Structure 1
Amino acid sequence: MIPTIIIAGTHSGCGKTTIASALMSALCKRGLKVQPFKVGPDFIDPSHHTAICKRYSRNLDPYMMGENGVRETFLNASKGADIAVIEGVMGFYDGLDGADTGSTAHVSKILKAPVILVIDAKGSSRSVNAVAKGFATFDPEVNIAGVIFNRTGSKRHCDMIKESLELPSVGWIPNRTDKSVESRHLGLKMAHETSSMSEFSEVLEENAEVDAILEIAGKTVDIPIKHVITGNYENSDKGKITIGVACDEAFNFYYQDNFDRLKKHGAELKFFSPMNEPLPDADAFYFGGGYPELHMDKLETSKCRYQVKKAAEDGKIIYAECGGLTYLCERLTSEGKTSKMCGVVPADAIKMKRFQALGYVAAQCATNKCILPAGIRYRGHEFHYTKLNYGNDARFALRLSRGRGIDDGFDGIYVNNVLAGYTHAYFTEEFAENFILKIVQQNK
């Protein structure tokens, strides 16, 4: 297995995203091929990783993918790289429902990878070493090999911490508010909106021992590969059908593994901008999540929304998630303003002041009348600030054993060959295969 390092944190907001991204940038500047990863279901942090490393950042999520899925994605994506850098999620031990499942610690044990723990030192001195010791000994199966103290103050502040070090320190990062990345309702700004992450690499190089981090990463041990599928995701049968994928400032929340599985089962993907381009000639369409509420004017005035409605009326297969769902609605309201959307889904979307759902989803299709077969199960994630006002004619295809969906465990409104819900699905092989099969059958 290639050298691997996990950048974990004691809690959300401790600076692990900035430090992980800065480390990726620093290693790339040294000429290394860095394969980035993100623990959990997040879309935003991987956008920064991808921009920095010029390799697609992959999510590693044991709940959505299973432990073997984590190994498979890691091994396949790491081919040709010199080092893998994995950014953790939330606090190191924070998992599903207060358990270990899905936590950064869980992923570290699956991959047997060493961990650098980021500790926010602002407002503390000796106490941060008690924190480090607690994290290192809480689970004897994890390997926390070093610590980066973030938001440190004066030299005296650092010296006070050094008096009682419990773990090797590989970084003393000063508090630099000028290099922070702005946030909004779904998290940090996307990579195309800021360069602060990569710019922080200079701060990291000056205040961290990058060579020591590389040495720790080099001690990664091999993981068991029994039953793990490795190889090229794409097969020789690609191009059997085409799928238009909405991808611009309004729609950019996608799992790269989903794209790979669609291509593996024969799809050619055509990326396009609903804000700025017409609907492309394709056999089906995929509208992912994102920020349509920030681009309502362009989406309303673009000819694409009329073309989407006609495509739906003509029976084209359309799959949409979260932001894509709101785009297919009749209207979208945000900050007191209402704009017309595609008018495919019989509902209005309204952005609220606080999030309406956040967490993992377990879904099962409950009907054979939509584009997925009844009984198919898959997992995903939901995080949205909008809610739907839907009419009595709305039909739901999905039943959720976990998650809220559109309303109280019901998700996936279907109309003709359109399926649109709040769940960001992690495509299983079965999901991708059946989705492609439906498109092929529709073309006959």
Structure 2
Amino acid sequence: MIAPDRIPRIVIAGTHSGCGKTTIARGLMQVLVERGLSVQPFKVGPDFIDPGFHTAICGRVSRNLDPFMMGENGVRKTFARACAGADIAVIEGVMGMFDGLDGTGFASTAQVMALLSAPGALVVDVKGMSRSAHALVRGYFSYDPGIILGGVIFNRVGSPRHRLLIEAGLETTALGFVRRDRRADLESRHLGLKMAHEVTDHTGVGALVREGCDLDRILALAGSAPPVPGGNRIRYPGGMKKGERIRIGVARDEAFCFYYQDNLDCLAAAGADLIFFSPIRDPLPEVDAVYLGGGYPELHAGALSCAPCTREIRTRAADGLPVYAECGGLLYLCEELVAGPGTSHRMTGILPAAAEMTEGIQGLGYTEGTWTGAGFIPAGLPVKGHEFHYSRIHPSPDARFSIRLTRGRGIFGCLDGLYEHRSVGNYTHSYFSSEFAHSLILAAEDFRRS
């Protein structure tokens, strides 16, 4: 078995968003799986959709690697823990390779490459250019000498003639020439691309990579990675919490589908058994707390409004059941959800607010702040996360807010989230700290005893 800090690894980096790195990463994962390798996938940044595709292709849960939310040691810890038992790690980058927070390199693909000593394959979209691609590549290869770039994958090559024009001025190792092909297209849907469960066939992108890339060179590059710095010193908790474990119900269906796997692992490590259920189809299970992640409740608002689970959550929340909700989960906890013009649906009514979908984006980017003492969460506890929403919250005048922000938009001003009873809902998709998980566990234990 390969030690996690020595696992072969490669980062699929890009010159910019939309250059095709998602297609190349998915295709590479598909081809490696077809070769019989156990592939551990990762995604740089706070994305939910791409990891879903990775997981579907690889059969191993894709993990986010985000220095802003996790810290540098957290990135290395998650990487090493997730790689146990894998043959190779494939890491999909985010945005342009050097694009980080506030115009810096912090939380960029390049930073994650440096933290993990992971070599990269640079994806360059060559549609509409030939020799100019080499000027672009030269800049990326020389910009930061501390970053290991092992070669280039030229994407959206238009024809054999186009390839010859590019090869004539080649200055770096070509890892692939991937032609323009409709198999690379991923259909758009409400608020973005289709989700992994809506796409049943991933073989098309695999064929593109198999036909256009030099797999032996890519594997050799991945195998050249040195040990992860400090990776052999990483330690994990030795065991789970002793005694009777509490039960946390986790909503997981087409309406609620956005979760960081590290958050679920954090709750399990703190002493929780996770009970997955569908608020659309299932009754509320016998649980001591509920976790409602993000997703698309607006697409299923009618079904949620009529579902028995909606009434059951409202009743049990009033009795003190701890409920934690993020983004789509926040909308579900409101009194009503206006999903479109003239279309309003009754939600759980736990939080004193109405939610309204909007045509334009209302919040996008990292968030940071402190909890205000909401529900079960101690006042002053730090919170870091990410927001992405096309909705507004209209709270009642006496509503109480759960987070005071120093970064991010939230609901308005410097405030995010609402709380009532022991129920908390916020736009921030937070990255759980052990202190947060412990607070939820204590609240669940208290509810169980009541």
TM-score, normalised to structure 2, is 0.96
Aligned position for 1:321: 326
Aligned position for 2:355: 349
Aligned position for 1:10: 15
Aligned position for 1:387: 392
Aligned position for 1:173: 178
Aligned residues: 443
Map residues 232-381 of structure 1 onto 2, 5 A cutoff: 235=240, 237=242, 240-336=245-341, 337-367=343-373, 370-381=375-386
- Residue identity opposite 2:178 in structure 1: I
Distance in 1 of aligned mates of 2:280 and 2:418? 24
Aligned position for 2:3: none
Aligned position for 1:155: 160
Are residues 352 and 439 of structure 1, via their aligned partners in 2, closer, same or farther at CA, if it must alter by over 3 Å? same
- Residue identity opposite 1:357 in structure 2: G
Are residues 427 and 227 of structure 1, via their aligned partners in 2, closer, same or farther at CA, if it must alter by over 3 Å? farther
Does the residue aligned with 1:91 lie in a helix, a strand or coil?
coil
Q: Do 1:321 and 1:424's aligned partners in 2 also have CA atoms closer than 8 Å?
A: yes
- Residue identity opposite 1:206 in structure 2: E
Distance in 1 of aligned mates of 2:209 and 2:15? 19
- Residue identity opposite 2:16 in structure 1: H
Q: Do 2:76 and 2:231's aligned partners in 1 also have CA atoms closer than 8 Å?
A: no
Are residues 231 and 303 of structure 1, via their aligned partners in 2, closer, same or farther at CA, if it must alter by over 3 Å? same
Distance in 1 of aligned mates of 2:252 and 2:233? 31
1:96 to 80, 92, 101: 101
Does the residue aligned with 1:278 lie in a helix, a strand or coil?
coil
Aligned position for 2:75: 70
Q: Which moved more, 1:328-337 or 1:422-431?
A: 328-337
Distance in 2 of aligned mates of 1:294 and 1:249? 9
Aligned position for 1:436: 441
Percent identity at matched positions? 51
Are residues 409 and 315 of structure 1, via their aligned partners in 2, closer, same or farther at CA, if it must alter by over 3 Å? same
User: Does residue 85 of structure 2 align to residue 80 of structure 1?
Assistant: yes
Q: Do 1:239 and 1:268's aligned partners in 2 also have CA atoms closer than 8 Å?
A: no
Distance in 1 of aligned mates of 2:420 and 2:397? 13
User: Does residue 192 of structure 2 align to residue 187 of structure 1?
Assistant: yes
Map residues 108-257 of structure 1 onto 2, 5 A cutoff: 108-225=113-230, 229-231=234-236, 235=240, 237=242, 240-257=245-262
Q: Which moved more, 1:231-240 or 1:165-174?
A: 231-240
1:37-69 C-alpha deviation (Å, 9 max, x unpaired):
000000000000001111110000000000000
Q: Which runs of 5+ in 1 are unaligned?
A: none
Aligned-pair distance for 1:300? 1.4
Aligned position for 2:65: 60
1:152-174 C-alpha deviation (Å, 9 max, x unpaired):
11111010011111221111111
Are residues 274 and 234 of structure 1, via their aligned partners in 2, closer, same or farther at CA, if it must alter by over 3 Å? farther
Distance in 2 of aligned mates of 1:16 and 1:187? 17
Q: Do 1:58 and 1:256's aligned partners in 2 also have CA atoms closer than 8 Å?
A: yes
Q: Do 2:10 and 2:121's aligned partners in 1 also have CA atoms closer than 8 Å?
A: yes
TM-score, normalised to structure 1, is 0.97
1:203-226 C-alpha deviation (Å, 9 max, x unpaired):
210111111100000000012227
Aligned alpha-carbon RMSD (Å): 1.5
Aligned-pair distance for 1:366? 2.0
1:254-302 C-alpha deviation (Å, 9 max, x unpaired):
0000011100010000000011111111000000000111111211121
Distance in 1 of aligned mates of 2:262 and 2:394? 32
Are residues 134 and 205 of structure 1, via their aligned partners in 2, closer, same or farther at CA, if it must alter by over 3 Å? same
1:36 to 30, 41, 46: 41
Aligned-pair distance for 1:227? 9.2
Does the residue aligned with 1:345 lie in a helix, a strand or coil?
coil
Q: Do 1:7 and 1:16's aligned partners in 2 also have CA atoms closer than 8 Å?
A: yes
Q: Do 2:183 and 2:204's aligned partners in 1 also have CA atoms closer than 8 Å?
A: no
Q: Which moved more, 1:333-342 or 1:229-238?
A: 229-238
Aligned-pair distance for 1:235? 1.8
Q: Do 1:186 and 1:383's aligned partners in 2 also have CA atoms closer than 8 Å?
A: no
